[in-house]
Structure 1
Amino acid sequence: MGEREELLAKGELTVVGRISEASNAVLLCTVTYGDESADCVYKPVKGERPLWDFPDGSLAQREVAAYLVSEATGWGLVPPTVLRDGPYGEGMVQQWIESTPAEEGPGDSQESDESGLLALVEGEEAGEGWKPVALADVGEGRTALLVHADDPRLRRLAVLDAVINNGDRKGGHLLPAPDGRLYGIDHGVTFHREDKLRTLLWGWAGEPLTDEAREVLASLAGRLADGEPLATRLAELITPVELAAVRARVAHLLRTGVHPQPSGQWPAIPWPPV
């Protein structure tokens, strides 16, 4: 357990307020352990809204599982996250990430999101440094092209989402940090045994995986084997069938060597997209 995880797991949680726009109970807290203190998010299991297609375990457990897989890739795409008891019972506690202001989007963008990594542009061309996702209805009979940055950090996140089967990768879940790192948050709707991938990061769909991604996936496959520490810990957080599905998705990515494409069986983009 690293220092940041130890702080989150063992420190005293003090609730500061509630993030009201969240669909489940999300509490902003401070955590203090010895001389160390930090802001964090606490999502108690008691505050979760039951989901009919995720009957087993809890969203909090899936958030922790996503963090563990992210750490196993070496990409560090999910903020430090632990499962622990808190003021309102067991829940997920995650380091708060203060994101940086958005940079300008494409030159002809109508609108960029807060991260500066997503935008709507006029016409049907994404522009240099951007990847097209889909045409979006912007009202009054007009459409605009939804695009995301052709950013290696986003591309790694797209691979992670494919592995954990993220059913809710929205724009508001992308947090660029002041140190240049990119974090993804809100991973409660993950690890379903059926293909549930819904994301705004389809720009690389069908394209070959990078050499780096293939190396990471090969290493991850080994760490998911029975008896390995990662597999053992994941088995405590998700079901055996879901763990088998993670292994199968990694194997499929390695076998095909390409980013996944939308299945066509349900909407591929989450709603609302932000």
Structure 2
Amino acid sequence: MKAYIFPGQGAQFTGMGLDLYEKSPLAQQLFEQANSILGFSITDAMFEGTAEELKQTKVTQPAIFLHSVIMAKVLGEDFKPDMVAGHSLGEFSALVASNALSFEDGLKLVATRAMAMQKACEQQASTMAAVLGLENEVVEEVCNSIEGTVVAANYNCPGQIVISGEVEAINKACDILKEKGAKRALVLPVGGAFHSPLMEPAREELAKAIEETTFNTPICPVYQNVVAKAVTDPAEIKENLVAQLTGAVKWTQSVHQMIADGGAEFVEVGPGKVLQGLMRKIDRSVAASGASFE
């Protein structure tokens, strides 16, 4: 079975999507539609913007979403997923690519999510840190033992977890995790504590927008971050999408489940090769490649 996977924040690069725009009339039309929906020229930021401009949450999230979704649409008949999944923000790309959400509604929700997360980040000093070389249970125990908010937020691959929370709690956790034998416990240059309880104000805002949006039954199962299993029921999809803002991205668990359910070929759709790299660390025996079009 063929699985398509969609990257999240951090996969952006200067010039992203320009080749799609230049080679495909459909891509051109969708990019122009996106500029109109967003009310600013996202194409200028993507095609010509500096790395600094692309790092702004209100730009990054729609940019990665657009690159992924437009690539999937340009593939046309070649895009035949048996299953899909997306890492964090990538879940929205996966939902549009599998027809659970329209292009327009998906983009509007991503823009709402980006702004809501930005606001939540500004309310409290918070951050995330990458932890390498420890078992999940050890990381979870350390997070639970610390006063203040700090949680395991992204299970990226075996031995690579991202923790999220208040700055002081993260710093303390990093010190203890190093004592416990972590190869690295490194604070990341991010705007805030994504996938933690500190995103509660953003979750409430996104929940309202999701409630007002029509979701359809996808053309194939969507493996959602918070449950790490196949979902096709629109009501359940909505619920999991809301929970994702304050819940963990169970990426390792999702990929294992996809493989257990018959996923044999994984194709990353969107900018960069982050997920292909993680695939090699999760299960080397499974084929992983990037989508391309001529």
TM-score by length of 2: 0.30
* Higher relative contact order, structure no. (Cα contacts within 8 Å, ≥ 6 residues apart): 2
More strand by share: 1
TM-score scaled by length of structure 1: 0.32
